[in-house]
Chains A and B, each alone.
Chain A
Amino acid sequence: MSINQSGWRPEMTEERRNTTVTATGNKALMLEEALIFEIGDTNTTGVDFTYATPAKAGVQSGDIATGPQPSGSPQSNTLRGAPSPGRLGGLERTAEIDLPGLSEPETVRHYTRLSRQNYAIDLGLFPLGSCTMKHNPRLNEKLARLPGFADIHPLAPIHSVQGALELIHQLAHWLVTLTGMHSVAMSPKAGAHGELCGILAIRAALEARGDSRKVILVPESAHGTNPATAAFAGYAVENIPANADGRVDLEALKARLGPDVAAVMITNPNTCGLFERDMKAISDAVHAAGGLVYCDGANFNAIVGRVRPGDLGVDAMHINLHKTFSTPHGGGGPGSGPVVFSEALSPFAPLPFVEKTADGSFRLVEEETAEQHHGQSFGRMVAFHGQMGMFTRALSYILSHGADGLRQVAEDAVLNANYILRSLDDVLDAPFGASGPCMHEALFSDAGLAEGFTTLDIAKALIDEGYHPMTMYFPLVVHGAMLVEPTETESKAALDQFILALRSVAERAKQGDQALKAAPHFAPRRRLDETLAARKPVLVWKEPDLAEAAE
């Protein structure tokens, strides 16, 4: 019985398939794409420069430099140089910049082809732990592009942008409400920038009371941004030990607290995907010793609508709008990292911020007026008001979900992660599986894999199964860590297929299947030589002969 009713069936062997080459290098829908420097040239442009608006009845209109054009005249597309004399002070560019251009169709094709070499949430489950790769609702994209938000200038007169300020104020209100905190700084540009905001506020508060504490305690399991931030703000970083349950060792922490400890930075839920049960006791102990508590809110998705960090004694926490509140990750940003503050830290929050006035209008508090009622602010950390484009998306997300939806977000995110944990803990080692349920992410280790097989092999084999791998080798406290965060926007069917794939790959790694060592086999590229890239960095494109000459 043939599987193909026409009578024809493919007979290509695995070997022949692998040796099949095409003249172009393309393989059907898998299309190779050259660099713009190889396909474009400096004379081509995909933009035309006839900016004259069509003449309205009775009104003649045109470019300033050429003045109104006679109606009906053909519109010139030629280069108009600056009228003589220009005002460039003799600094006119003479040398070629060497920027290649492409026509519009070539441009659209170039980037469309490149896009198809990317994995993305839109293509499938993206279980990158601690990154919260959830669906990005397209309503949010639409609303962020309303001209009333997208086409307004950050220095426009305040009364001409009241709607924008009101939107920031509304989002700020909900972030404060959801976290049970006292105030929020909206301007930080991403999570790490938010961390810096929080730590600077802590330092400002300590200095205001004449306290020059020098140490910040950070668990070894923390995101790398935590120690980097603390060091950037001028602090010495010390480790907080963990207990066997994958949580902060409260007694060890208490023993270390003292007059030199400015703050602790704790991620909760932590990077092992576990809730810090002793969080309130930790906060109380830190406060009793005169320190402050920073919480890394990267994992807020697990508890949104169910737990308020303000109830746990937190003094500052950043919220990644690009995680919990679904603004797109964009291949590496832009993010947005508003920071919520306790009452104790609020006076030290950065400028600028939006305030509602008695008459119901909104004003921007900047350096000019801060003296009078916000004199302890640590200052400005970014040119304008933060990531407006992310604020619109995040507010749209919050209003779309509402109180019931947000609570459901946390519940489904945690349910999905536990479903993965318990569906795979027979085949993969779950180092903290015995200590109870996980929160929004499931953590596995490389224990039990065949000799010579690693987490990397599992990750690369998952690529062949059609998935972006989980976060690997993080957190550092677990050997060969695999951190799986499915998020709440995955259906049960999607989870079941992922479990099938990871189970199969894990079994092959335990059996020592050599094919795994060479995975991925089916991606646009095989494993890439990262050592070569770092040893002889090629960071910009050069003409081949120039590149050779440089060696």
Chain B
Amino acid sequence: MMRYLPLTQDDRTTMLATIGATSVDDLFVDVPEAARLDGPIRDLPDHASELAVERHLSALARKNIVAGDVPFFLGAGAYRHHVPASVDHLIQRGEFLTAYTPYQPEIAQGTLQMLFEFQTQVARLLGTDVANASMYDGSTACWEAIVMARRITKRGKAILSSGLHPHYVSVANTMAKFTGDVLETAAPTLTPEPDTASLTDRIDGDTSCVVVQYPDILGRIGDLSELAAACHANKALLIAVVTEPVALGALKSPGEMDADIVVGEGQSLGVGLQFGGPYVGLFGCKEKYVRQMPGRLCGETVDAEGKRGFVLTLSTREQHIRREKATSNICTNSGLCALAFSIHMTLLGEAGLRQLAAINHANAVTAADRLAQVPGVELVNDTFFNEFTLKLSKEARPLVQRLAERNILAGVSMGRLYPGEPDLANGLIVAVTETTTAEDVETLASALEEALA
């Protein structure tokens, strides 16, 4: 009667006889009478056909403005890039899609080799010695990095750059309330340069780490080398957060500038926008800290015949072995999104990633210069990759709303990200990628001109 349930009524009867039960109710005998539902779930209709379910969900999907259908400039932690068709095809191979965490390595070499390749790609991109097999997303990876720094330094004060994504700050604040970590945070200012330099003075002997986003929430890019040196002089760690990994096709990696832990949101490559999830957290660090890392790690080894193979390793850090002494409680991570990231990265290769990054930057430069010509628009940034901040002559948030009503998704207003910060209310964060066309930019420029007139 229900298409996903293969047992027939005859099967059930035969099986009950084997078990020695007269009805399925006998199997629920341990459930106290009072806790058994005697009827169907209230208000939930009976089973539905594929067609009926598809109609229902399609109707909901149609109520949303699709990014690809309109001029679209949103970023701030999630970016719209073109994902090659083969990525989605390959991640839907049933052997990847419907496999479990590779606990039995002899029959999970596909997932394990992919994870080993992913770890290597991520480590090279971030400029770290090692990387793990993924976290939930960038925001949770960021908090786990702060906790890891506490474990390593045995200090509890973290300094968070004002350019760190406000949601990442919010997640860290939530967690710190319970762990007792002290976080120094601040809202950003609409200045041309990031706060990288000013962070140096605040590091002291109690500091476990400095957390800095690269490029930052406004899109600004700061050299991390001096900050890293200042951290290390005080025996603190530098944690760099990358929310747009494509940027690292054009920019020096944080690892090259001596960051100790580099975390990121990998959504840009392979994964898509998906209204915020699932995404994939990137997590890399220096080799000397590997035993303090959270999450799964895949390592190379050999089998009984001496053939190269891969296994999950260093699991004595993990909850299923260490229980309350584990480095993190994470179990399921984001394997399939890591696969999508890795396939997209393999399709790009170094040459492709650099080209993609160059196009993103070139498009953003052109768009920034064009939009800055609009009366009432000022470009805040001196530096940026594919995302920059405009200071408008009017409050940005209602303007973004009005443009959305005209099917223009103009960017992320800083009022949305920082409600209650009047100094930021006129800020508009604009992302431009390879998917943005010249017409899109013209449409936005004209709309801004009209709205700000």
Contact = CB atoms under 8 A, between A and B. Distances in A.
B98 A122 contact: yes
A268 B327 CA distance: 26
Which of B29, B104, B168, B333 counts the most A-chain CB atoms under 10 A from its CB? B104
Interface stretch (A83-91, A253-261, A287-295, A503-511): A83-91
B88 interface: yes
A49 B304 contact: no
B129 interface: yes
Given A98-B124, A178-B41, A415 B2 contact: no
A42 B40 contact: no
Given A45-B348, A101-B348, A331-B100, A193 B140 contact: yes
A431 interface: no
A330 B94 CA distance: 9
Contacts of A334: 136, 277-278, 280, 332-337
Interface stretch (A3-11, A160-168, A338-346, A444-452): A160-168
B100 A117 contact: no
B419 A107 contact: no
Contacts of A390: 277-278
Contact of A330 (B72, B339, B367): B339
A303 interface: yes
B12 A415 contact: yes
Contacts of B343: 107, 111
A422 B90 CA distance: 40
Contacts of B353: 97, 99
A147 B362 contact: no
B64 A160 contact: yes
A308 B37 contact: yes
A305 B40 contact: yes
B167 A92 contact: no
Interface string A211-231: 000000000000111011111
Contacts of A108: 86, 89-90
Given A45-B355, A164-B64, A331 B48 contact: no
A465 B354 CA distance: 47
Nearest to B281: A189
Nearest to B105: A528
B174 A396 contact: no
A234 B180 contact: yes
Nearest to A385: B276
Dominant SS among interface residues on chain A: loop
Nearest to B88: A145
Contacts of B233: none
A163 B64 contact: yes
Contacts of A378: 174, 177-178
B199 interface: no
Contact of B301 (A131, A164, A533): A533
A524 B331 CA distance: 26
Contact of B336 (A49, A118, A331): A331
A312 B339 CA distance: 40
B453 interface: no
Interface residues of B, number: 226
B102 A161 contact: no
Contacts of B400: 157
Contacts of B60: 148-149, 163-164, 166-167, 170
Interface in B53-111: 53-54, 56-69, 72, 74, 76-78, 80, 82, 84, 86, 88-111
Interface string A311-322: 110000000101
Contacts of A64: 362-363, 366-367, 432, 436-438, 441
Nearest to A337: B332
B130 interface: yes
Nearest to B411: A155
B347 A131 contact: no
B50 interface: yes
B438 A63 contact: yes
Which of A40, A150, A280, A463 counts the most B-chain CB atoms under 10 A from its CB? A150
A47 interface: yes
B4 A311 contact: no
A157 B347 contact: no
A117 B316 CA distance: 26
Interface in A152-183: 152-157, 159-164, 166-167, 170, 174, 177-178
Nearest to B327: A228
A92 B84 contact: no
Interface stretch (B152-160, B203-211, B307-315): B307-315
Contacts of B381: 87
Interface string B21-59: 100101111111011110011111111101011101111
Given A381-B171, A532-B301, A102 B349 contact: yes
Contact of B177 (A86, A101, A379, A460): A379
28 contacts: A47-B347, A63-B438, A80-B359, A82-B250, A90-B223, A93-B354, A101-B349, A115-B110, A156-B74, A161-B275, A177-B41, A189-B136, A190-B333, A231-B329, A334-B334, A334-B337, A402-B44, A402-B48, A411-B24, A418-B15, A422-B19, A436-B30, A437-B19, A494-B6, A525-B109, A527-B304, A528-B311, A533-B299
The 6 A-B residue pairs with the shortest CB-CB distance in the complex, in nearest-first order: A101-B349, A384-B276, A148-B61, A330-B336, A163-B63, A122-B94
Given A133-B98, A330-B339, 18 more contacts: A47-B348, A51-B434, A88-B221, A97-B350, A99-B350, A112-B90, A118-B110, A120-B94, A147-B68, A148-B61, A153-B275, A154-B276, A306-B31, A329-B335, A385-B275, A415-B24, A418-B21, A468-B107
